[in-house]
Amino acid sequence: MDLIVPMKPPRSGKSRLRAALGCPPGTGGHADLVRALAADTLRAATAAAGVRRVVVVATDPGALAELRDTGAEVIGECGARDLNAALRVGERFLRSADPGGVVGALQADLPALRPEELAAAVAEASGRRAFAADRHGTGTTLLLSAPGGPLDPRFGAGSARAHTESGAAPLLLPAPSLRGDVDTPGDLEHARLLGLGERTAAVLALREASCAPR
């Protein structure tokens, strides 16, 4: 099974998280946090049983080259005009190597992701086109195709409903780390309680130290 992870440029992505570092505006660090969230997600994804390739489809691959250290590949989005188009670029890329395999789309903001929860989700899907909703029940953190079948991604606001309506099976396992995507400071706090990956924890610790009142 191969995974596609879409990412906008780290400076402009995850705009709802800008306040999360608790530092005055303009002190930077946002892009470091976005890259750290992705690095922890990718480390867990590449370690999951049954996962073969993990491909980041990036608007700006140069800004994300360091993510290759996680074992993921990083490719450009070839002029895709939005998130779902970027996912289709990744799908074509993976299908050109393995037309009959399962492909999945995984969000890049799962810093508490545990490899065993991702593997359990793939096992529950058991060859069906299926998805994991986020912890709020409205978004999607993982969408899987059937073997050789179309991914047909419908990410965006209300994507859990859109994926259900398009015939994808909602996965039922709890998998809190897989459902814990981070869009807001509140989501980041939730992920902290689950147990953050090393890179995200390090970025937050550094910012706390450097922005503490003197």
Ligand X SMILES: C=C(OP(=O)(O)O)C(=O)O
Ligand Y SMILES: Nc1nc2c(ncn2[C@@H]2O[C@H](COP(=O)(O)OP(=O)(O)OP(=O)(O)O)[C@@H](O)[C@H]2O)c(=O)[nH]1
Question: What residue ranges bind ligand Y (CB under 6 A)?
Answer: 6-8, 13-16, 57-59, 77, 80, 82-83, 86, 107-109, 183
> Which of ligand X, ligand Y, none interacts with 7 (beta carbon under 5 to 8 A by kind)?
ligand Y
User: Judged by CB, which is closer to ligand X: 41, or 140?
Assistant: 140
Interface pick for ligand X out of 61, 139, 180, 197 (rule CB under 6 A)? 139
CB of 41 to ligand Y, least distance (A): 9
183 sits near ligand X (criterion: CB under 6 A): yes
Residues whose CB falls within 8 Å of the CB of residue 190, separated by 6 or more in sequence, listed in order: 135, 180
Please state, in angstroms and rounded to a whole number, the distance separating the CA atoms of residues 112 and 201: 10
Please state, in angstroms and rounded to a whole number, the distance separating the CA atoms of residues 44 and 97: 23
41 sits near ligand X (criterion: CB under 6 A): no
Q: DSSP for 92-116, please give it.
A: HHHHHH-TTS-EEEE-S--TT--HH
Please state, in angstroms and rounded to a whole number, the distance separating the CA atoms of residues 24 and 130: 41
**26 known ligand binder:** no
User: Judged by CB, which is closer to ligand Y: 22, or 158?
Assistant: 158
